[in-house]
Chain A
Amino acid sequence: MKQLLKTVAGAAFGLALATTGVVTAAHADGEKYILVSHAPDSDSWWNTIKNGIALAGEQMGVEVEYRNPPTGDLADMARIIEQAAASNPNGIITTLADFDVLSGPIRNAVDQGINVIIMNSGTPDQARDVGALMFVGQPEYDAGYAAGLRAKGDGIGSFVCVNHVISNTVVAERCRGFADGLGIDLGNSMMDSGQDPSEIKNRVLAYLASNPNTDAILTLGPTSADPTILALEENGMAGDIYFGTFDLGDNIVKGIKSGVIQWGIDQQPFLQAYLPVVILANYDRFGVLPGNNINSGPGFVTKDGLEKVEKFAGEYR
């Protein structure tokens, strides 16, 4: 028993040392930037962001790290931002998923002399409030509104919004914008689907069964779109019901090709990751900064524009 305990302890210790040995060897000489996101580990959409910053880091010769709270808890994210500020990088790129929770740590980072760019979540006004250099992203309400107008033009009168990130108030603006674009009240059209795929599928099936007059479905990302495609195939409504989604992904692209999905809104996360790194690096080196915020989306992707999307779906698109 003694021998076994000793071996296990030694092996675990050795493993721990080896892992950190590998990691600490990888410090670059260039500028260092940290991207802090609000996404839980399980959200696969952020893979594109990770690839985007890796590519930008390589091309600009800077070191970019990705940090996130494992469970998606925004209080943990605030601590991570505080920690990032304490480690004194050249810049921090972060989202503003909840202004109340995150504005304090971000403002402190800015006041310490660290440059901050807000990406993905938040409004341009909030970004200015916290003292960030700029905002790179897709204003949620505007994107939803544009989609709603498009759907209204296609003859839609009612919809269900499958929301898999109910705790992110800014993302819920997409649903509200869509309703306003359609000219109707949001009412009960926004559904909390949870994050588990089979849960989402079953809830969509239940909603469609109890609301048979729903004209359209709006999903907010691959996490809610993929199970919804399966649900529509199961109840036979695939291709019959107007289906639009935010973001792109493998299954969404297939859905667009086969006609199940009418359009996908690409907020082009690659730009949300790539551009801030480039902007910060050039700002640090030459002092140049674009004079306005950058809207990375919305880009409507229909059957006609699919080739490059297909090639890089889930990786860079």
Chain B
Amino acid sequence: MSNTVKSELTPDERVKEMSPFRRFLIRPELGSIAGTILVFFFFFLMARDSGMFSPAGVLNWSVVSAQFTIIAVGACLLMIAGEFDLSVGSMIGFAGMSIALLSIYLGWPIWLAIIATFILCMGIGALSGWLVIKTGLPSFIVTLAFLFILRGLTIFAAIATTRKTIIGGVRDAAEGDWLAPLFGGKILTGFFQWMGDNGWIETFSRGTREGQPVVEGVPMLVVWAIALVIFGHVLLTKTRFGNWIFASGGDAQSARYTGVPVNRVKIIMFMFTAFCACVFATSQVMEFGSAGADRGLLKEFEAIISVVIGGALLTGGYGSVIGAALGALIFGVVQQGLFFAGVESSLFRVFLGVILLLAVILNTYIRRMITGEK
């Protein structure tokens, strides 16, 4: 009798109580959540009345952030799987040039050019992944090689076919196409027009677009970014495949022993990174109506920075897509916000380095604190 009463009163010492606060701290996104709040607070102080938080200003930095988010999601999943892809920037230029050449020079309809480019880029991504696995070389080296190969091919293809490095006219070729608006269009235009009519948003005061709201809709780039983040997060945290990604990055050999198809996971992640780069490039080409041979220069490093700010480990096996998205948001807000705040543009890189350092230190400190206590 007395024994039962006693065991009801004493808690089971095998189950550890963890406060919700502690549980919150363990999330890999913590550093980037704190960073986001800090950055917005900082720019609210510095650039409150400079137009940064007006509809046009919000559109400006959210589009830049969305750009980074798209490639950061791909880079994040790949980094968690334990590999790097340094060819993302070159693939952006390559994909853009491919769409432009296929549609302008060869005369294919835009939707066919876009689909063909996607297949081509995902094929190159798969090739990168296959090479990494077959040769056992670090993915750093293999994708570095592709960085040069793709960039060179982009410039060569442009000059060999059209003697120019910027190929325009895509906007005209995309008129009436069914797939082009999916990448370059804007949604909710009716809602924004309504807001413009009712004075909630400034309207153009002269020219051919007089009366139209300054922000005419949410660009598809932002929609893609949000969709990819949701997809990546659900894939990583709620599915078995997500577990496989963590396992492949954490310890590939142990994962193999437990039955995870590590090779297949890695190749699929390389293809996904290529897919994200292709989405970026297509949106850029559709929006600007032209492809350039120098597009996407150095974007792979910006993707990796966003992912690292978001709390992922460079060695793999730990990270979060939400964190990477927040890291990209920080990146975009800082990049455009510094212009709004009137800071000398060459100081942008100083700020970037400082923020990167702060973010990594914060993430490492918190992780050590957490894992030290485990």
Residues of A within 8 A of B (CB): 1-2, 5, 8-9, 12-13, 15-16, 19-20, 23-24, 26-27, 41, 65-68, 70-75, 78-80, 82-88, 98-101, 104, 107-108, 110-113, 131, 166-167, 169, 172, 192
Across the interface, A79 reaches (CB within 8 A) one of B64, B205, B295, B346, namely B64
Choose from A27, A66, A73, A86 the contact partner of B297 (Cβ within 8 Å).
A73
Task: Point out residues on B near A: beta carbons under 8 Å.
Answer: 42, 46, 50-52, 54, 56-57, 59-61, 63-64, 155, 159, 164-166, 168-171, 202, 204-210, 214, 284, 288-290, 292-298, 336, 339-351, 354-355, 357-358, 361-362, 365, 368
A111–B343 touching, CB < 8 Å: no
A167 touches B166 (CB 8 A): yes
Say yes or no: A23-B342 contact (C-beta < 8 A), given A13-B358, A70-B349, A87-B57. Answer: yes
Q: Give the residue of B288, B340, B350 whose beta carbon is less than 8 angstroms from that of A87.
A: B340
Q: How far is the CA of A294 from the CA of B184 in the complex (A)?
A: 37
Kindly report which residue of chain B lies nearest to residue A131, judged by CB atoms.
B207
On whether A98 and B297 interact (CB within 8 A), knowing A24-B342, A67-B339, the answer reads no
A26: B residues at CB distance < 8 A: 342
The listed residue (B56, B205, B294) touching A86 by CB distance below 8 A is B56
Report yes or no: A12 in contact with B354, Cβ–Cβ below 8 A: yes
**Dominant secondary structure at the A interface:** helix
Alpha-carbon distance between A66 and B355 when the two chains are bound, in angstroms = 23
A113 touches B343 (CB 8 A): no
- For residue A99, which residues in chain B have a CB less than 8 angstroms away from its CB? 168
A41-B346, A79-B60, A87-B57 known; A166-B351 Cβ under 8 A: no
Q: Is the CB of B342 within 8 A of A5?
A: no
In chain A, what residue has the closest Cβ to B351? A16
- The 4 A-B residue pairs with the shortest CB-CB distance in the complex, in nearest-first order: A111-B207, A100-B290, A86-B56, A100-B168
In the bound complex, what is the Cα–Cα distance between A268 and B169 (angstroms)?
Answer: 32
List 14 interface pairs A-B (beta carbons < 8 Å), by A numbering.
A12-B354, A15-B354, A20-B42, A24-B46, A75-B288, A78-B288, A83-B57, A86-B56, A87-B57, A100-B166, A100-B289, A108-B209, A110-B206, A169-B165
Indicate if the CB atoms of B290 and A23 lie closer than 8 Å. Answer: no
Does B205 contact A113, Cβ atoms closer than 8 Å?
yes
Does B205 lie within 8 Å of A83, measured CB to CB?
A: no
Q: Is the CB of B171 within 8 A of A67?
A: no
Task: Please report the C-alpha to C-alpha distance between residue A45 and residue B205 in the assembled complex, in whole angstroms.
Answer: 36
Interchain nearest-CB distance for A1 vs B (Å)? 8
Contact call A100/B348, Cβ cutoff below 8 A: no
Say whether B344 contacts A23, CB under 8 Å: yes
CB-CB under 8 A from A66, the residues of chain B are 345
Among residues of B, the one whose C-beta sits closest to the C-beta of A23 is: B343
**Cα(A169)–Cα(B297), bound, Å:** 18
Nearest-neighbour CB distance to chain A for B100, whole angstroms, equals 10
- Residues A5 and B208 in contact in the complex (CB < 8 Å), given A66-B345, A100-B290: no
Q: A41-B346, A88-B51, A169-B164 are in contact. Are A111 and B354 (CB under 8 A)?
A: no
- Please measure, in the bound complex, the distance between the C-alpha atom of A80 and the C-alpha atom of B337, giving whole angstroms: 11
- In-complex Cβ contact of A68 among B46, B63, B209, B345 (8 A): B345
For the complex, give the distance between the alpha carbons of A192 and B160 in Å: 13
A9 touches B362 (CB 8 A): yes
Please name the residue on chain B nearest to A27 by beta carbon. Answer: B342
